Amino acid sequence: MELIRAERIGKTFDVSPPWLTRALAREPRLLLRAVDDVSFGIRRGETLGLVGESGCGKSTVARLVVGLYRLTTGTITYGGASIDALAAGRAGRALRRRLQMIFQDPYASLNPRWRVADIVAEPIRAHRLLRGRRAVQARVDELLVQVGLAAADGARYPHQFSGGQRQRISIARALASEPEFLVCDEPTSALDVSVQAQVLNLMRDLQRELGLTYLFISHNLAVVHHVADRVGVMYLGRIVEIADKRRLFATPRHPYTRMLLDAIPDLGLTGKARTPVAGEVPSPLDPPTGCTFHPRCPLAGDRCRREVPLLKRVAGVPDGAEGGEAACHAVEEGRDGASGRGV
């Protein structure tokens, strides 16, 4: 059963100069389409990973899901009910308690003037989950121990901790409201590799213990391979491929997915043919016509330059099987030569 469903969601930002400047220069408004026609579902207890280069719209999707940005188009449902319909009043408060977010920079997301105990206790007090100072303090101590810190750490300030410890504090704060669903926006990208592994293992353990559901945003394919059940690959605001983790890493279908995987160093010296990542990401203010990836794609044809590809189930994946959708004319026409691909 799907806990979260995003259906054809989009987000457009107005990045125009001031009106008077535009009027004097006779320039039109500038609209940046950060997310365009994105659809996905996440089942209870599952982790969906979203990957792609910087600027592809991953973090915008994360903020749309938790309601930090308002949708321009499309709908997002949580437990079958529209998030927009639940955004106000008592229902909105209950929804915000069930949806929490872990941000990329743990120092910027923590109030430097507050002690850790107050930071972790804020959601408990805001949602009135417990009454009495002692009950709240006992819950804060329990949460700090649960994420691998000591109860005594609650008396300290964020600047007195390392990056990995600060991210553990962020996780404790997210868990304080007893959520079902966590949006993790590159939660380990600012950490050392060894600390990354510790935080990722902690998040997996918490998922098993508490039955959490994750939307995990990252540009690091190794991290996504470690934590995700399914993976969606984004390029310039669109999902170009989504599949079960094992299927996507073993037999990537979209040329962009292949380029991302080919960029991983071949430590095993397998000798497999690899296509180097070429070109630059186009400006989202002036995206290419048709398939936005076609200027960098080795398989691009005339149809790719004219027609926007739709996300469709790829050939060879039976109905009901895990994943296996790609938005690519070459895949649809069988021109991708997918047999034997993988990393």
Tens of pLDDT, residues 149-164: 999 999 999 999 998 9
pLDDT digits (tens, 9 = 90+) for 94-126: 888 899 999 988 888 899 999 999 999 999 999
SS3 (DSSP) at 313: strand
Could you tell me if 8 and 39 are in contact, meaning their C-beta atoms sit under 8 angstroms apart? yes
Residue 86 has pLDDT above 70, yes or no: no
Q: What are phi and psi for residue 167, nearest 5 degrees? A: -70, -30
Instruction: Name the CA dihedral angle for 24, 29, 32, 38, rounded to a multiple of 10 degrees.
Output: 180
Q: What are phi and psi for residue 19, nearest 5 degrees? A: -55, -45
Work out the widest C-alpha separation in the chain, in whole angstroms.
Answer: 69
Task: Establish how many alpha carbons lie within 13 A of residue 343's alpha carbon, considering only the half-sphere containing its beta carbon.
Answer: 23
Q: What are phi and psi for residue 33, nearest 5 degrees? A: -90, 95
Query: Can you give the pLDDT at residue 46?
Result: 95
Strand ordering across the sheet containing 47-51: 99-102, 181-185, 213-217, 47-51, 230-235, 238-244, 323-326, 312-313
Least confident of 181-190, 260-269, 277-286: 260-269
Could you tell me if 224 and 48 are in contact, meaning their C-beta atoms sit under 8 angstroms apart? no
Beta bridge partners of 274: none
SS3 (DSSP) at 21: helix
Nearest to 329 by CA among 289, 301, 295: 301
pLDDT digits (tens, 9 = 90+) for 12-34: 999 999 988 989 888 889 999 99
Could you tell me if 228 and 239 are in contact, meaning their C-beta atoms sit under 8 angstroms apart? no
Could you tell me if 277 and 263 are in contact, meaning their C-beta atoms sit under 8 angstroms apart? yes
Q: What are phi and psi for residue 91, nearest 5 degrees? A: -65, -35
Could you tell me if 289 and 266 are in contact, meaning their C-beta atoms sit under 8 angstroms apart? no
- Report the percentage of the chain scoring pLDDT > 70: 90
Length of the chain: 343
Take residue 143 and report the two structure tokens written for it.
Answer: 């949460």
Long-range CB contacts for residues 283-292, cutoff 8 Å, separation at least 24: 284/32, 284/33, 284/34, 284/55, 284/236, 284/237, 285/15, 285/30, 285/31, 285/32, 287/33, 287/236, 287/237, 291/327, 291/328, 291/329, 292/235, 292/236, 292/237, 292/238
H helices then E strands: how many in the chain? 12, 12
Residue 195 has pLDDT above 90, yes or no: no
Q: Where are the chain's structural domains? A: 255-343
Q: How confident is the model at residue 80 (pLDDT cuts 50, 70, 90)?
A: confident
Could you tell me if 168 and 199 are in contact, meaning their C-beta atoms sit under 8 angstroms apart? yes
d(CA 184, CA 126): 21
Q: Is the pTM of this model over 0.95?
A: no
> Which letter does DSSP use for residue 278 in this model?
-
Rg (CA), the chain: 22
